[in-house]
Amino acid sequence: DMACGSIWVLSFSDHIQQALIQSNIGKDILISMGCNPSNEEVQANACAALWNLAYNVHEYKRTLVKLFAWERITYAMSSFPTSVNVQENACGAIWCMADETTLDSLFSVDPGNAILNALFNHPWNRRVNKYGCAAIMTLSFDLKFRDSLMRLDAGSALIGAMNRHDSNEVILRYVTAALYNLSDGAANKLTLRNLDAIRSLDKAIKSVPLQSDVREYALQTRRRLLNPYYY
């Protein structure tokens, strides 16, 4: 626990982050996760350390994926569903590690269920909702994930987060961007309309400044939902 916690704290420094990456410390972190599957603190700190190591370092994201980071992170989430620290840090790690170069490998693990469970289990925790919605947004950029997420009731999770955290512009930005992505396709549009998404989007539009990205995402999503021919 102390080792992973120390790496997490040290990796906030860009200089130290690069030194840790050059030593491939991620391999040791993942080994520690595998050796301590029932230790909540190890799992939480390890996910936090992986999050920092992957932040804005695209090549190392791919290295971590090859070391089965996705599997370790999602296993930690399923092992400690009530742990705010594990869920927040794991969602943050997935958010940072998922990009166009790693999403194909992530699809075989499909972390959508773990992320949505985090949102359903911790509906009022702002940090879990912030990074959980950010992770869903990132996954939803990939066509392969959209139908999977909607089948897992991502619409309900996102709209619930938007309604509960209606004063948090960051959460609203991630939610509205994710809903825009997920509103692609007639079946998904119908599902979101039936969840009263338009009412929630209207509320979000009114709650943010005129120049906010939230307004743009919400307005574009609203147009998609109301017009079957609008893409």
Provide the angle, in degrees to the nearest 10, between the axes of the packed helices 69-79 and 84-97.
Answer: 160
Whether pTM > 0.85 for this model: the answer is yes
Q: What is the pLDDT of residues 79-104, one digit of tens each?
A: 999 999 999 999 999 999 888 777 77
Q: What is the pLDDT of residues 129-182, one digit of tens each?
A: 999 999 999 999 998 899 899 999 999 999 999 999 999 999 999 999 999 999
How many Å separate Cα 3 from the centre of its chain? 25
> Helix (H, G, I), strand (E, B), or coil: what is residue 227?
coil
Q: Are 184 and 149 in contact (CB under 8 A)?
A: no
How many residues can be counted in the chain? 231
pLDDT score recorded for residue 11: 56
pLDDT score recorded for residue 55: 83
Q: What is the pLDDT of residues 213-224, one digit of tens each?
A: 999 999 999 999
How many Å separate Cα 103 from the centre of its chain? 13
What DSSP string runs through 149-212? HHHTTHHHHHHHHHHHTTT-HHHHHHHHHHHHHHT-SHHHHHHHHHTTHHHHHHHHHHHS-TT-
For 51, other C-beta atoms within 10 Å of its C-beta total 23
